Structure formats: structure tokens, C-alpha cells
Amino acid sequence: MKLPETQVAVLEAASADDPTPVEQIADETGEQEAAVRGAAFDLEERGLLTVSERTETELVLTEEGEEYAYEGLPEHTLWVGALSNDAHEEPIELGQALGRGGLEDDQVEIALSNFARKGMGSIDSGTIEVDEDYDLEADPERALLETLRGEEGDVDPDEADEEAVAGLERRGLLEEHEHTVLEVALTDDGVTALMEGLEVAETVGQVTPELLTSGEWETVEFAEYNVEADAETVHGGKPHPLREMSERVKDVLVGMGFEEMQGPHVDADFYINDCLFMPQDHPARNHWDRFALEEPASMDREDVPDDLVEAVENAHRNGVGPDGEGYHSPWDEDFARALALRGHTTNLSVRHLAGIAEGDIEPPQRYFSIEKAYRNDTLDATHLLEFFQIEGWVMAEDLSVRDLMGTFTEFYEQFGITDVEFKPHYNPYTEPSFELFGRHPETGELIEIGNSGIFRPEMLEPLGVEADVMAWGLALERLFMLATGAEDIRDVHGTLVDLDFLRTEEVVY
């Protein structure tokens, strides 16, 4: 029987007794795995092979797991540090054991919780005592880490210690990866063909100019193509779904007469907070809630206009207008000049309203931006450390809440969202103020999607603005959730992004 060279190699490497993985045949024959796969399907068509699939689970260490497999688990480091300070004889100060062990700050809590869980000793009122009979080598979690880190590396999940696997998965040190294994086996006809002998047929995979001009195309044998065979999945480039949503938002706002504004991601607290009539002793302005810069730590004095600083400081201390009270709280220019990643994009609005970005502007004006903001939030389905904010404002005479609510109604209707709800709210920089909520199309949950209001005189007068200004900050990711049915923004961007979701999701408007 004459067959193409790759098919002959696959038949000779296959077995009638046990299915052989395609990957193994590719290694043995030196052929490309894709070529072996194609040959296998061709031979299946001829009845010489059977092709089957099975799912295989593999235990894989995470980056943190690799680190602990090399350096040792934190609880083991704590145990050794305490033991070296004779904590097996009597309790010692916890700080002594931690200092001797050299644990990083983020590893201390991990070490303490697992030290207690594994019964490695006792911790009480800031002291630690170790069980010197505890056998580090017998710890199943350590043993599994070292096995996976070793030269062999592979561990059958069915044979691994279940508690150790569960513990390491819970700690984020181990993951189970599934992949499909394609296997082939000889049929009776395949065995017969091998016994009768195989010859390599000279085949041509494609027509070339040389074949056509020489006339050889009339005599050569062309390789057969199985157009029904499974092909390798190729994920081509495509716009990120959130970028598509951002572009759609931009189209809608430009269509509503808005101009786009841009500005610095790192800015002085003066523009991020002080110009928004945010008191300097507000809890949101401490170092726990903001990402401050170390170098440079503050904005140069010449980049903060003196007259604007004076006007903003006066508003904070004394208020604005005959009934203004101000905060009567400390106000410090050095504190205002401190640099940080912006916690919202309203610093862009401040720069435009104050005439710093584009010079003095007169009403009516409409501006927007779709830019990143940064907050030290707890990560969950609706919060990330960095997110996109849809900033917008309108400057005009005699604006009212009705104008603001009507703008939102028109905007969200462009995305098929017609059930936006409003809730009164307090902001230092707007009065009246209200939050926006939308109902998730899949879960039915009411989700906060933005914050808005009419800028207060205490904010506008120092900026030199005499007209009314209504403004808002909307969450692009929350809009994405309402428009597409996505239930967790961590699937879209961030360290836990779901690649399958990004490859298959379509933005629905």
C-alpha cells in the first residue's frame, strides 16, 4: 500500500494494543504535531486507525507556589525561626521568631494561620511555642510542592494526597489544568496493511509555479485534504470588549454634543480633592485610600497658580457667599501639592473649568472623558484597583436636576437601559447630589453605576465659573455589566481576566 510519508510514520508508531497520544508520535517521528493530527484523521478515513479523545488533568504550581517550593512554606520558616530561639523550651515573643525567620510582611499572616492549622505549636497573647516533634519533612503540602518542583514534575491528581491538593489550591499555590489528549490505535485493517508492507508515495501538498510551467502537475500525486477534520483553534487579534464599549460611549457622547478632554493620571491633591471642596482631613484623603507617589512626592509650586490656591484655601477656611461657613479645619498648601494617582477623573474637569487646560471657556459647554482612575479598594465582582470612569459635565445658565436626569435617560437609552433609578446622596462638591443604579439583566441585582450632582458654589467660585455646572462620574465597567450581562468585572480586565470570555464575548448595545 502506498501512503504519504507522514501517514506511514504514524501507522508504524501506532499500536493495536494501547492508544498512543498524537503528541508522543510527533516526538518519536520528529513530525509537527499538526501534521500528525491531520495524518491520523486521514488514516481514520481509510479505516486504518481509530482516533479518540480524553481529558487529562494536570497539577501545576502557581508563581507563588513555585516560590514557596524553592524557599519553603512561610509556616515552616516561622517554626524554624522560633525553634532556633529555643521556643520549644518556653514561649518567646512572636517578634523574635518572625525576625529570625526573615518573613516578608505579607507572609506573616499566612505563616500564623497555617502554623496553627497544622498544629506546629501554639500562639497566645503575642508569644509563640513550637512542638519540636513536628516533622517538617512529613508535611504533605511540602512534599507535594517539592515533587511538582522536581525534575519529574508530574503528579497524577488521582494519586496525590487529596488534603494537600485542596490545601494548596485554597492557598492559591496550585491549580488544576485540564487539556484534551488525542490518541490513535491501529484497526485490524491497519495491522494487515503493516504486515503486507507500506511504501512511501511521493505526494505534493500544493500547486507551485514550477509544477505548472514544467508540466509535472500532470504526473505527481497530490495529498488528500480532509476538510472535515478538526483544525487547530487560532485566536486572532480583536478589540477588547471594554475598549469596544468605551468607543461606543464616546460615539454616543459626541453625538450628544460633548467634546473630549484629557489630562494627567498623576496629579496634585490640590486638583484631585482641594478644588472639589474636599476637606483635607476627610477620611478618603489618608494614605490608606490613595496611591501616593514617593518620587517626585509633590508638584512644583509654579505649577499651582497662586491666585487659585488663595481662592481655594479661602473657600475651605471661610466658605463662599454671605451664608458660607467653610470647614474651619486645617488647610496646608504642602499637603495640597502632594502627588498621587487620581482617585477619580474630576481633576480633568477642574483643570478645564479653571482655564488651565484650554484657557478660559464660556457657557454653554459640554465635556467628557473616558479615562482610568485608581483607588485602594477591596477587589470583588464590581471593584478593581484601577477602573475606567466616564466623566462628564455641562456648563450653562439655570441648570436643574431635571436637566441632569434627562441627560442620563437619553444616554443610557442608547444602550437599551431604560430602568435607571436615582437615589439622593451627599458629596462635598455637589448639591443636590444623587447616585444612579441599574438592574443587572441576569442576576436582577440593583448595581450602583454612577454619582452625580450640581457643582457647589464653594467649588465653582474659586475656579472663576459664574454659570451652573452639572457633572457626573459613571463606571464604564458597570455599564458593560448591564449591557452584556457580565457578572464579574474581574473577567474583563485585571489579574484574574477570563481569556475565554474575552475571546467569545460580544458587546450588545
63 pLDDT above the threshold of 70: yes
Rounded CA-CA distance 137/115 in Å is: 15
Contact indicator for 78, 98 with CB cutoff of 8 Å: yes
From first CA to last CA, the distance across the chain in angstroms is 59
- Tell me what the pLDDT averaged over the chain comes to: 86
Lowest pLDDT segment from 19-33, 102-116, 307-321, 363-377 = 102-116
User: pLDDT digits over 445-484, tens only?
Assistant: 999 999 999 999 999 999 999 999 999 999 999 999 898 8
Q: Which residue has the higher pLDDT, 297 or 377?
A: 297
* Banded pLDDT at 288 (limits 50, 70, 90): low
pLDDT of the residue at 509: 42
What are the residues facing 496 on neighbouring strands?
Answer: none
The answer for residues whose C-beta is within 8 angstroms of residue 480's C-beta and 6 or more apart is 241, 242, 245, 486, 489, 492, 507
* Banded pLDDT at 276 (limits 50, 70, 90): very high
Contact indicator for 36, 29 with CB cutoff of 8 Å: yes
Choose from 6-10, 299-303, 470-474 the range with maximum mean pLDDT: 470-474
Rounded CA-CA distance 198/410 in Å is: 73
pLDDT of the residue at 271: 93
Tell me how crowded residue 158 is: count the other CB atoms within 10 A of its CB: 7
Rounded CA-CA distance 173/72 in Å is: 12
Nearest to 19 by CA among 44, 47, 53, 48: 53
- The C-alpha cell at 390 is 466616564
Q: What is the pTM of this model?
A: 0.58
- For range 74-94, the mean pLDDT: 87
Tell me what percent of the chain is helix, strand and coil, each rounded to the nearest 5: 40, 20, 40
Distant-in-sequence contacts of 75-78, Cβ < 8 A, 24+ apart = 75/110, 75/111, 75/112, 75/114, 75/115, 75/118, 75/120, 76/136, 76/139, 76/142, 77/101, 77/102, 77/103, 77/107, 77/111, 78/103, 78/111, 78/112, 78/115, 78/120, 78/128
